[in-house]
A = this chain, B = another copy of it.
Amino acid sequence: MSYLDENAIPLSIDLYELTMGASYHALGMDGRATFSLFVRSLPPGRSFLVVAGVEDALRRLENLRFDERALEYIATLPQVRPDFVEYLRSFRFEGDVWAVPEGSIVFPNEPVLEITASIIHGQIAEPVVMNALHYPTLVATKAARCVLAAQGKPLFDFGLRRAPEIDGGLAAARACYLAGFSGTSNVLAGKVYGIPVVGTMAHSFVESFPNERLAFEGFVSTFPHRITLLIDTYDVLMGAQHVVEVSRKFAGTGKQISAVRIDSGDLEALSRQVRKLLDSEGLQDIRIMASGGLDEYEIDRLLRNGAPIDSFGVGTRVVTAEDAPVLDMSYKLVQFDGRPKLKLSEGKRTIVGAKQLWRRIDTTGLYAEDMISGREEQAPDDGEWLPLLRPMMKAGRITESFDLEEARRQHAREVERLPSHLRDIHSVGEYKVTLSSQLQERQRLAEEMIAQEEGLAAKPQR
């Protein structure tokens, strides 16, 4: 992300992190705290989440510095004490971070990322890691569902124009690629992340010529490689006919039309008609790309109905995570100064202490169940359990190198391990997640103890 100004990061926090930090600082409270980030429940229609943004979260934490411009501004805020502004001058994040690897599949209430740091550091990290993970995880999850629906056919991210802002477009392109897309239209994502960039043509290009055929000829004559022509500006079948004519005209010149794109109308019927026409003209090699308002449901419908579509340009609905734009993501204090911590009032469970997340793989190699344990616990005895949380940052330094291509491959391997009832995009599948018996006991004691300290009757937590 070399194109984004690192100096925006430290100020992109909630004021209350600074006011609470100032209070802790003034009171001399610098005990060690553990915070846990998790998603309480899945958005509608989802059976799993694909975690994205971990790498960015770590990078933001590692680079968190309050420069002079930032400090000057903070000093003007009446809510922040001057001694704390001085403290921030030498601030650098010194926490330890455990997290699941980028692209991991996770389920509700599972720890995704845990930070152990002095409480001021852990508090300042809150908006940093939440902001870094929330949006990319939404997009990666939606994109992974599109990949499941596409049955191996390539998908391309065309979402930049309706993605949220410039770094939203960048993060979306990355999340889609991580989840298995084959490329993006976003040139910046190509530059920053090395994602293959793709492009075709727009309706305006066709319209700017006296007629469609001349537009196609113009484009083919000047476009060097892998030519895709957009054929729905006026009439798709006439567009396909123009492709045939232009293809003949350039025959033997080395110029080759490799695909046509249909961006509107009844994609199923039109793709059949276009395929038939191209085939009848001996142009079996020209592929058909579909785009325009696509999501996992539409891709699934088209392919199940046998539409002869070879690839998909997917944009708006994925980069806005249209049907599920919010994750019930939380970042909660779970331990402080060696004591378990949790919030009681809401009846929502926060699982205390630093944890490990275990996944059991069955004998066929598929996910069987997950178990959440204390961080220090060993793997259960029965079967093959993999620990998912890994140490990724030590004393503020990233300890695990990251490679997007490897994360993408690792994610693909994880998807292969998804049981079939979780792969169905049309129904929500259940997955077993339990707490280790040690952790259950620790949780029970913590809930009792905190209720007692606050003079409350212990309530059963859901």
The stretch of A92-100, A196-204, A419-427 that contacts the partner chain: A196-204
The stretch of A22-30, A278-286, A391-399, A436-444 that contacts the partner chain: A22-30
CB < 8 Å neighbour of A201 from B8, B19, B236, B343: B19
CB < 8 Å neighbour of A79 from B134, B202, B223, B321: B223
Cβ–Cβ contact B123 & A202, under 8 A: yes
Residue A35 at the chain B interface, CB threshold 8 Å = yes
Cβ–Cβ contact B134 & A208, under 8 A: no
CB distance from A118 to the nearest CB of B (A): 11
CB contact under 8 A between A212 and B454, given known A135-B164, A164-B171, A168-B135: yes
Among A371-405, those with CB < 8 Å from B are none
Bound complex: CA of A94 vs CA of B27, how far in Å? 57
CB contact under 8 A between A344 and B208, given known A4-B5, A16-B185: no
Bound complex: CA of A345 vs CA of B226, how far in Å? 25
Cβ–Cβ contact A208 & B31, under 8 A: yes
CB distance from A34 to the nearest CB of B (A): 11
Residue of B nearest to A5 (CB): B5
CB distance from A132 to the nearest CB of B (A): 8
Cβ–Cβ contact A127 & B329, under 8 A: no
The stretch of A147-155, A186-194, A301-309, A355-363 that contacts the partner chain: A186-194
Residue A167 at the chain B interface, CB threshold 8 Å = yes
Cβ–Cβ contact A78 & B165, under 8 A: no
CB distance from A115 to the nearest CB of B (A): 11
Cβ–Cβ contact A161 & B130, under 8 A: yes
Bound complex: CA of A188 vs CA of B77, how far in Å? 12
Copies of this polypeptide in the complex: 2
CB contact under 8 A between A16 and B235, given known A224-B81, A336-B207: no
Among A50-103, those with CB < 8 Å from B are 69-70, 73-74, 77-79, 81
Among A133-189, those with CB < 8 Å from B are 134-135, 158, 160-171, 185-188
Q: Which residues of B contact A202 (CB under 8 A)?
A: 16-17, 20, 123, 126
Bound complex: CA of A282 vs CA of B381, how far in Å? 61
Cβ–Cβ contact B341 & A127, under 8 A: no
CB distance from A426 to the nearest CB of B (A): 21
Residue A456 at the chain B interface, CB threshold 8 Å = yes
Cβ–Cβ contact A77 & B190, under 8 A: yes
Cβ–Cβ contact B12 & A166, under 8 A: yes
CB < 8 Å neighbour of A163 from B131, B188, B211: B131
Cβ–Cβ contact A8 & B15, under 8 A: no
CB contact under 8 A between A185 and B14, given known A23-B222, A134-B161, A322-B325: yes
Bound complex: CA of A332 vs CA of B325, how far in Å? 27
Residue A264 at the chain B interface, CB threshold 8 Å = yes
CB distance from A37 to the nearest CB of B (A): 10
Bound complex: CA of A200 vs CA of B19, how far in Å? 8
Residue A276 at the chain B interface, CB threshold 8 Å = no
CB contact under 8 A between A199 and B234, given known A161-B130, A163-B131, A190-B73: no
Cβ–Cβ contact B131 & A165, under 8 A: yes
Residue A265 at the chain B interface, CB threshold 8 Å = yes
CB < 8 Å neighbour of A4 from B8, B69, B162, B223: B8
Residue A119 at the chain B interface, CB threshold 8 Å = yes
Q: Which residues of B contact A69 (CB under 8 A)?
A: 191
CB contact under 8 A between A16 and B208, given known A162-B327, A166-B167, A233-B343: no
Sample of 19 further A-B pairs with CB below 8 A, known A20-B204, A208-B333: A3-B11, A13-B160, A14-B199, A16-B185, A16-B199, A23-B205, A31-B208, A78-B225, A81-B222, A127-B160, A130-B161, A165-B170, A207-B342, A207-B343, A212-B454, A234-B451, A235-B456, A238-B456, A317-B326
Could you pull out 12 A-B pairs where Cβ atoms are within 8 angstroms? Answer: A4-B5, A8-B170, A13-B186, A18-B187, A24-B208, A73-B187, A77-B187, A79-B223, A164-B165, A233-B345, A234-B456, A322-B325
